[in-house]
A and B are shown apart, each in its own frame.
Chain A
């Protein structure tokens, strides 16, 4: 099989997707620059570091882009296994920041396995459903293995504790399962099961997580504690107004009233400085990216491609929704970064790898085996 000689293959390279992603990354860089503006520069500024991550991400992207996704999917269970091992390693020797143990140190780099777990789960589920094709909706019995595939990393990540990522995993998996088609009875049973689990799960939440959920419903109750993030974020976004305060001129950002401004609350930085116009354009960019991903899924040539493309789109969508809902004060602060904009190497590299797969699937929609 030679794909590089095929002309339709090259001409069908997904420039749109690349352009969308690169503009999102560019906006992210501007914001990270603004968020770090005026602080003492004792180390490499974060926007330069993010640039490195983007470069590494592009390398990862080209890897997942060039190797046929069907070949990659063959290694799905191996990737999954590695991801689980890494999660265990985090447990054993990971280090702790902000009260949760999420990071592994590899060669001096902080590395967050949970970001890669998302992709590994998508691949593993795709592989499983591809291997167990069915014309009828799946019944509960047939969903036992996929459930285990999800639950193992879910529990490990929940225990770190990283409520946001754990929930994202669940949402991605649920999206895939819904998409594949589930027997309505089975769905009803599963939903009841989850409803029963909620009060039990509440028990396992850390105090700060419980507090965040409570404060979410009434953030003004604790304006300096857990509610502080939400309030300051709402103030930042709202005070931006229609045209924004201008690049490097957001007082909430520049005077550091906005917490976590490089990471989870990067959107607030943007909305404060670029206003409704800027935020609107950004949201349209995300929407385009997601619709583009759906289009790729719709046109994929096989079920494997459909599930992978849909799963990746779901991953990006849920993270965007949860993050925006959070910074706009509609959802609790659960600590989900905004894809391509938030500072962070692990997320950037794994997202770029996801995008590479999307392009991969898009490009091979017309390629048939000989």
Chain B
């Protein structure tokens, strides 16, 4: 025991002192490095790192502005916004995504709520890009997520406005729909869109988006690492969008929509006095709410490739051979060019021969001797074969253009088509083939290469009805702020004149009246009580028919080979206020299919007008009595 403490084993102090100096030196170096590093981070880089610590914790959350309302001419709501609740997932720092999502799933299942999200996330989720799991959920699900928020890290409820269209399908082709802003819109220089914004697509929603969409607000919030909101740091309120008042009458639109029910086609009703669209229907249509939720590419393709083309607004994008509706134009040309006089008669035997080909009249046994009036009233084909031949295709084309065909009307809607006005030059440049005389025969009854949109036909008849003025058709009367201040008001815009002699105009109007009101008129189905309707039917062939009469009878047409039924009319006879163009695709006879549709719309229009006048008169007399 003793010797363990007896040895004083102090080592050589000199040697250790030397080593201590080395150690001391090393310590000083290391501490200096640490302090320099600290200086570098906390003094030199502090600004950058402070910003990063802020961006770590501060989130800029966009507050979507409420879109403005879309109203009809009487203030009926066509589009509005409601709050929608979405389940959003922020991948953030959560490690096991599947575990969280499966927990949500089992919470749903406990409440027997349907699970409408995919719990297997893509491999490459961006940590601070929220993923929408479910959109537009019910209050039960909101409750489930909110009450279990502590165990559902990264899952939260997000409220954003969703568009509602009370009139649904019947308005969709003209109003359009809304959806998340697309890449092209983001690229627009003055678009002012940011990623994730809702923008209008198609129709009025798109054209007037600038007015409707309002200004998004923003919110600065501090979040913790689990994206849970800790503090609100400030808020800029969104500015709601402006309200759009349309020229359309929702009641009339509904009548037209129901009249077309089960058919494919379009109806345009407009006011010939200023070009206001009163109704514009395209069937079949689509549910504009479909686009409120994220659409899969398959759904998209399904809609776009649907053979019945529900996404097309047929009133402006559908191009149809106008058929006998076109005879008005050929008649105008013939009168103006003097190739016929109103009284000159042409014999219709039921057929017209050119070379080896026979062109038939719709009436197999012919109309006998017909003049211009009768030819229009009874829609005699042979009469117009003759006049057409006399005029030649280029003269007909000149008058077709005069009636506004071949170029868009300029209505403020996307995707308006111009139709086709064929001429010799057109065929040469388009098909590199010369014009054949037989083709003029087809053209003169509105067949062949002729194509026009329902809106063009309506506008052509409107110009005749109002005595020669082309108004630019319009859908939106005005835009006003929610407080009623007017930001935009439509002014009637004259886009052309139908330069025909008054005599010609009168003759044609009389003939159109006759086509509806004469005993043998083809458009008798459009007659209504108390108001004189003038109009013209049309039946346009979709497929060529065999020359042989017997063979014609035996043909069985498929759905897409049947004739298109057309009818264009205006009323009343004097000072017309409404022009209606009806096209029923593959509907059959214009007189029996399209004209009754026009009649229903006319009835509705004038019944409403009578009612309004009656109340006005009552009001007037009331005020007189009280006077």
Pick the contact of B230: A130, A255, A329, A369 (CB < 8 A).
A255
With A251-B56, A287-B27, A294-B20 already in contact, the answer to whether A276 and B37 are too (CB < 8 A) is no
The distance from the CB of A228 to the nearest CB of chain B, in whole angstroms, is 8
Does B290 reach chain A (CB closer than 8 Å)? no
Q: Contact between B42 and A298 (Cβ–Cβ < 8 Å)?
A: no
* Residues on the B chain within 8 Å of A287, using CB: 27, 31
Per DSSP, are chain A's interface residues mostly helix, strand or loop, or mixed?
A: helix
* Number of residues of chain B lying within 8 A (CB) of chain A: 45
Q: Chain A's nearest CB lies how many Å from the CB of B513? A: 78
B543 to chain A, nearest CB (A): 64
Chain A positions within 8 Å of B56 at CB level = 232, 235, 251-252, 255, 257
In the assembled complex, which residues on chain A have CB atoms less than 8 Å from the CB atom of B38? 237, 271, 276, 279-280, 283, 328
- On whether the beta carbons of B53 and A321 are closer than 8 Å, the reply is no
Which residues on the B side are within 8 Å of A279 (C-beta)? Answer: 38, 42
Distance of A10 Cα from B360 Cα, bound (Å): 133
Return the contact of A255 from the options B4, B15, B57 (Cβ within 8 A). Answer: B57
A242 and B42 within 8 A (CB): yes
**Which of A59-67, A300-308, A346-354 makes up part of the contact surface?**
A300-308
| A277 to B39 alpha-carbon distance, docked (Å) | 10
Instruction: Give bound CA distance, A325 to B491, whole Å.
Output: 75
The contact of A235 among B19, B33, B49, B230, by CB within 8 Å, is B49
* Contacting pair A181 B9 (CB below 8 A): no
- Tally of contacts, chain A with chain B, CB under 8 A: 124
B19 contacts which of A179, A255, A368 (Cβ < 8 Å)?
Answer: A179
CB contacts under 8 Å to A, within B57-83, are 57
Please name all residues of chain B whose beta carbon is closer than 8 Å to the beta carbon of A368 when the two chains form the complex. 8
The answer, yes or no, to whether B344 is at the interface (CB within 8 Å) is no
Q: A290 at the A/B interface (Cβ < 8 Å)?
A: yes
Query: From residue A259, how far is it (CB to closest CB) to chain B in Å?
Result: 9
Considering the complex of A and B, which 9 residue pairs feature the smallest CB-CB distances, nearest first? A238-B49, A239-B53, A369-B5, A255-B224, A238-B41, A276-B42, A239-B50, A241-B46, A256-B225
Known: A252-B56, A290-B27. Is A275-B8 also a contact (CB below 8 A)?
no
Instruction: Say if the beta carbon of A324 comes within 8 Å of chain B.
Output: yes
B492 at the interface (CB under 8 A from A): no
Q: Tell me if A70 and B50 are in contact (CB < 8 A).
A: no
Tell me, rounded to whole Å, the shortest Cβ–Cβ distance linking A352 to chain B.
23
CA distance A303 to B223 in the complex (A): 57
With A235-B56, A238-B42, A369-B5 known, 10 other A-B pairs at CB within 8 A are: A130-B9, A224-B127, A240-B42, A255-B57, A256-B226, A271-B38, A283-B34, A302-B10, A303-B11, A329-B41
Closest to B20 in A: A298
Q: Contacts A239-B49, A302-B9 known; A325 to B34 CB distance under 8 Å?
A: yes
How distant is the Cα of A257 from the Cα of B224 in the complex, in angstroms?
A: 7
Question: A361 on the interface (CB 8 Å rule)?
Answer: no
| Contact across chains for B10 and A369 when beta carbons are under 8 A apart | no
Say whether B222 faces chain A, with CB atoms less than 8 Å apart: yes
Does B35 sit at the interface, judged by CB under 8 A?
Answer: yes
Q: Does B531 contact A (CB under 8 A)?
A: no
Cβ-based interface call for B357 (8 A): no
Q: B295 contacts the other chain (Cβ, under 8 Å)?
A: no
Name A's B-contacting residues (CB within 8 A): 70, 130, 133, 135, 179, 181, 224, 228, 232, 234-242, 251-252, 254-257, 271, 275-276, 279-280, 283, 287, 290-291, 294, 297-298, 301-304, 306, 317, 321, 324-325, 328-330, 368-369
**Cα distance A280–B37 in the bound complex, in angstroms:** 11
Given the interface contacts A255-B225, A291-B27, does A181 sit within 8 Å of B15 by beta carbon? yes
Whether B52 is near chain A, meaning CB under 8 Å from some CB there, is yes
Specify which chain A residues have a CB less than 8 angstroms from the CB of B6 in the assembled complex.
369
B-side contacts of A306, CB under 8 Å? 11, 16
List 10 contacting pairs A-B, 8 Å CB cutoff, sorted by A: A235-B49, A237-B41, A238-B45, A238-B46, A238-B48, A242-B43, A255-B225, A304-B9, A317-B27, A328-B38
What separation, in Å, do the CA atoms of A240 and B127 have in the docked complex? 25
Chain A CB within 8 A of B24 CB = yes
Complex Cα spacing A181 to B31, Å:
24
B3 → A minimal CB distance (Å): 10
Please determine whether B4 and A294 come into contact, CB atoms closer than 8 angstroms: no
Q: Which residues of A contact B19 (CB under 8 A)?
A: 179, 181
Contacts of B17 in A (CB 8 A): 298
- For B590-621 the 0/1 string (1 means CB < 8 A from A) is 00000000000000000000000000000000
Contact B41 A328 (CB under 8 A): yes
CA distance A239 to B222 in the complex (A): 16
State whether A276 touches B43 (Cβ < 8 A).
yes
Chain B residues within an 8 Å CB radius of A280:
35, 38
B50 and A238 contact, CB distance less than 8 A: yes
Q: Which residues of chain A are within 8 angstroms of B23 by Cβ–Cβ distance?
A: 179, 294
CB distance from B335 to the nearest CB of A (A): 81
**Distance, CA A294 to CA B20, complexed state (A):** 8
How far, in whole Å, are A70 and B9 apart by their CA atoms in the complex? 12
Closest to A310 in B: B23
Cβ of B137 within 8 Å of any chain A Cβ, yes or no, is no
Distance in angstroms between the alpha carbons of A234 and B38 in the assembled complex: 10
Report if A294-B24 is in contact (Cβ < 8 Å); known contacts: A130-B9, A283-B35, A330-B37: yes
A301 and B11 CA atoms in complex are apart in Å by 9
B42 touches which of A241, A256, A290, A369 (Cβ 8 Å): A241
How far, in Å, is A266 (CB) from chain B's closest CB? 15
In the complex, what residue of chain A is closest to B127 when comparing beta carbons?
A224
Q: How far is the CA of A294 from the CA of B54 in the complex (A)?
A: 43
Contact, CB under 8 Å: B42 / A283: no
Query: Which residues of B lie under 8 Å from residue A242 when comparing CB positions?
Result: 42-43, 46
The answer, yes or no, to whether B93 is at the interface (CB within 8 Å) is: yes
- The yes or no answer to B30 lying at the interface (CB within 8 A) is yes
Known: A256-B225, A291-B27. A328 touches B8 (CB 8 A): no
Chain B: minimal CB distance from A11 (Å): 22
Q: Which of A234, A294, A298, A301 has the most CB of B within 10 A?
A: A298
Residues of chain A lying within 8 A (CB to CB) of residue B31: 283, 287
With both beta carbons as reference points, the residue of chain B lying nearest to A321 in the complex is identified as B30
A233 to chain B, nearest CB (A): 10
B213, chain A: closest CB distance, angstroms: 34
**Nearest residue, chain B, Cβ from A239:** B53
Task: Give bound CA distance, A239 to B226, whole Å.
Answer: 20
In the bound complex, residues from chain B placing their C-beta under 8 Å from that of A324 are: 34
- A138 and B38 alpha carbons, distance in the complex (Å): 39
Q: Which among A252, A275, A303, A369 is the interface contact of B53 at CB below 8 angstroms?
A: A252
Residues of B within 8 A of A70 (CB): 4-5
